[in-house]
């Protein structure tokens, strides 16, 4: 690992380890007892000689969704942000930037300190928030509604001013359909799962829609005793 990148990783790892994350290579992962989790990936990109450039991707992981992907394999070793129901690529610029840039670039120790400060500030705000979503469908759905309202306000401001303003838009993108489908499934609401997944492109026997429906039928059977 490049010396500058190693120093950056050391700086953010202190905060992540304190929050219960475990690092495996360039990926930090946190899981609760039910198998819901958070994954943070340092994704390197091509850079000029003497520089290091990378993205930081974060995702909130839903236990039944992971079981669909990994089956009997352990997602604690290999789950990535792209397996998530909420994902975000951190912005490498601060609030003074005219436009956001997601590429972190390190060529000096000053760059390392600046990048680490940006990431650690974001983590301090968002780790508690992400943990509050884990396995809590109501909390996730409420966050989706809140982000939708915030996006509407930010869009109106941008149209009015003609400028992008840092801090106005919500971080991350939700996969609301998957969250709703599994929320219905865990309640054993077969009809609601069927309605939610009716417009999904893939509804075959090995599809995500079929998995959610199978869980709904299982929960319904369990409740009937």
CA gyration radius for the chain? 20
pTM: 0.91
CA proximity to 116, closest of 73, 54, 62: 54
Give yes or no for residue 1 having a pLDDT over 70: no
Percent helix, strand and coil across the chain, each rounded to 5? Answer: 50, 15, 30
Contact 183, 137 (CB under 8 A): yes
Both structure tokens of 116: 């680490």
Q: Write the pLDDT tens digit of every residue in 38-63.
A: 999 999 987 667 689 999 999 999 99
Q: Write the pLDDT tens digit of every residue in 72-123.
A: 899 999 999 999 999 999 999 876 656 678 999 999 999 999 999 999 999 9
Contact 92, 105 (CB under 8 A): yes
The position carrying tokens 């599809």 is 207
Number of neighbours of residue 81 by Cβ within 10 angstroms: 21
Both structure tokens of 223: 């409740």
CA proximity to 163, closest of 109, 209, 98: 98
Give how far Cα 177 sits from Cα of 58, 137, 140, Å.
19, 12, 12
For the chain, give every domain's residue range: 3-131
């Amino acid at each position: 690992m490049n010396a500058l990148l190693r120093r950056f990783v050391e700086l953010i790892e202190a905060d992540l380890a304190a929050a219960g994350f475990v690092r495996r290579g360039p990926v930090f992962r946190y899981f609760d007892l039910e198998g819901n989790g958070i994954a943070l990936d340092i994704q390197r990109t091509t850079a000029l000689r003497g520089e290091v450039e990378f993205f930081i991707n974060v995702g909130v992981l839903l236990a039944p969704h992971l079981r669909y992907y990994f089956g009997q394999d352990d997602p604690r070793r290999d789950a990535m942000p792209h397996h998530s129901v909420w994902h975000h690529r951190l912005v490498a610029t601060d609030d003074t930037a005219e436009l956001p840039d997601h590429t972190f670039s390190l060529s000096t120790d000053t760059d390392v300190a600046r990048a680490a400060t940006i990431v650690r500030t974001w983590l301090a705000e968002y780790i508690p928030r992400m943990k509050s979503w884990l396995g809590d469908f109501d909390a996730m759905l409420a966050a989706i509604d809140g982000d939708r309202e915030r996006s509407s306000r930010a869009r109106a401001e941008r149209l009015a001013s003609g400028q992008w303003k840092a801090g106005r838009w919500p971080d991350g993108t939700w996969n609301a359909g998957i969250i709703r489908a599994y929320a219905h499934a865990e309640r054993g609401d077969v009809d609601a799962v069927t309605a939610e997944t009716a417009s999904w492109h893939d509804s075959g026997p090995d599809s995500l829609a079929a998995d959610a429906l199978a869980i709904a039928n299982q929960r319904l059977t369990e409740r009937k005793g």
